[in-house]
Amino acid sequence: MTGFALGAEQEEWCGQLRALAADRLRPLADKGEPGRVNRPLLAALGELGLLERVFTSGALELCLLRESLAYGCTEAETALALQGLGAHPVLRSGTPQQRERWLPQVRAGRAVAAFALSEPGAGSDAAALALEAVRDGGGTADGGGGAGGGWRLSGEKCWISNAPEADFYTVFARTGEGPAAKGVTAFLVPADRPGLSGEPLDMLSPHPIGRLSFDGVPVGPQDLLGEPGRGFRVAMDTLNLFRPSVGAFAVGMARAALDATLAYTGARRAFGGVLGDLQAVGHRVAEMATRTEAARLLVYAAAGAYDAGSADVPRRSAMAKLLATETAQYVVDHAVQLHGAVALQRGHLLEHLYREVRAPRIYEGASEVQRTIIAKELYR
């Protein structure tokens, strides 16, 4: 890839992914139940080798994968991304035993992963989380504790994607080695741990989101992801990789909305011609296309910086997520306006995208948080 265009092989691969999403994955998504984990869809992502690509690709390839799947099937894109988000800390910070136990199952689409960071009082301010890990020096016989002692997790997580149906959770809890982010530890918590329960939440977006309750859930040294007190670094390592690809997800939705608008306004007859002949319509479509292309290029640049190991990844990742998600909201909203009432019907592509496009401006750091990160990095 140059600074301005993908290579021929990359473009061909993206086209194959878009077709695969529409022809193979869309029918499976349509059979799923909104707000529930779609295990047949996950299994198909595993069989096709796409989940494997999440763990072996660089940031740019991950962005191309997410953008292309989002264009044809947002449910498939989200299912794939959530597997990566929940299991990436295991890949990067897990023990050999944790990786051997869970990663092959995640790659095959047989085990569902979840990233459990947000809480009722700690969403955008992740360093303010309150889930408490209290030392349990005596250990336990059920997996938490052991010779080195363990912890008991008490508190609540909220707005966790794939909860409460995930098979394991990457959980961030306060162990108190220091203030704010310095006292956070990451744990791998299987869903069948005693004291762990959850319930689904009825949300606008169609993918599963839930609440988790921890009532003295036992965890031990063998459940650590990284070192005690270094969990915030584990979280940020994951988010720095996935933030540009959230932008890619948004770009995929924007491109789908733009193409649908071009097709509709180029054929819909009105006022003695087609809608696209009207200057007001043509100028609006031109603005939609320009913003989408600008967001796309910024996402690619951020991904390229991550792959190159650049020092400015946090700033670039924040810029990419900010511009792409805000742009997608703009493009989808204007696409609905140009389509008129037909786009508000249940089952219409734009009705679906209108519900999907709102959440990315909030999760993995709201737009306001991205602006704060950008400003801090600029003044550093």
* Radius of gyration of the CA atoms of the chain, in A: 21
* CA dist 287 → 18, 279, 283 (Å): 24, 12, 6
Short-list 221, 229, 127, CA closest to 178 = 229
One DSSP character per residue, 129-160 reads ---EEEEETT--TTSS--TT-EEEEEEEEEEE
Give, in degrees to the nearest 5, the angle at Cα 137 between 133 and 142.
Answer: 80
CA 363/CA 124 separation, integer angstroms:
8
| Residue 11: alpha-carbon gap to chain centroid | 23
* CA dist 286 → 249, 273, 331 (Å): 21, 19, 11
Short-list 334, 339, 356, CA closest to 290 = 334
CA 326/CA 104 separation, integer angstroms:
35
297 is written with which tokens? 């290029």
CA 31/CA 128 separation, integer angstroms:
39
3-state secondary structure of 273: strand
Here the contacts of 2-10 (C-beta below 8 Å, separation 24 or greater) are 3/301, 4/297, 6/64, 6/300, 10/64
Q: How many CA atoms lie within 13 A of 114 on its CB side?
A: 28
Taking every pair of C-alpha atoms in the chain, what is the biggest distance, in angstroms?
82
What is the identity of the amino acid at 376?
K
3-state secondary structure of 85: helix
Catalytic center residues = 364
Structural element, H or E, at residue 335: helix 313-339
Count of other CB atoms within 10 angstroms of residue 147: 8
37 within 8 A of 162, measured Cβ to Cβ: yes
